[in-house]
Amino acid sequence: MDTFARLTYRSLLVLACLSMFGALLAITLNIATRLVDGLSISGLDGYAGYSIAAAFFLALPSALSHGDHIRVTVVLQNVGSRTRAWLEYWSLGFGLVMATYLAWFSCRLVWFSHLYHDVAPTGDATPMWIPQLSMALGTVGFALAFLHALVNRVQGRPFFKEPSGKATPTE
């Protein structure tokens, strides 16, 4: 499971990077077309927004595996080992439940948007299930990441990557 999950996180992260590049391209093209008098491409603002949202959701699993989400390590470092274990199990379990619900809701949203032919209210009338699909993929990956973290915690293996260097001191 570990190899499959890490490959999934990496693949979703590559898609997130491509989405950010798509947002850059859409915004640059929108600016360039505004400079040319009389030329306008309908829906570029929407595509930039879809791309940024896709990058956010697709990067969730990788960010969790790298420990980039907010974690209360100050609390965990100052409690006993038994309390720490209980808090970690509770947090990962609760995160798994919430991420699974979000994934279920996102997949359901994509299905209903496709079923009822929901389109964007912009001039290009993009079928909404297309940009929503990236949200569903990202949230399913996020739920997988929480499951992976919980399984690793139960088995006594580390899930979160340790920081590679020292933190920058602040004064």
- What are the domain boundaries of the chain? 2-155
pTM for this structure? 0.88
- Are 37 and 6 spatial neighbours (Cβ–Cβ below 8 Å)? no
Q: How far is it, in rounded angstroms, from Cα 44 to Cα 27?
A: 7
Of 137, 143, 57, nearest in space to 100 by CA: 143
Phi/psi at 38 (nearest 5 deg)? 85, -5
Q: Is 4 exposed, middle or buried (0-12, 13-18, 19+ CB in 10 A)?
A: exposed
Distance CA 169, CA 51 (A): 35
- pLDDT tens digits, 21-75: 999 999 999 888 888 876 778 888 899 999 999 999 999 999 998 887 776 677 7
| pLDDT average, residue stretch 112-122 | 92
Closest by CA to 125, choosing from 48, 45, 42, is 42
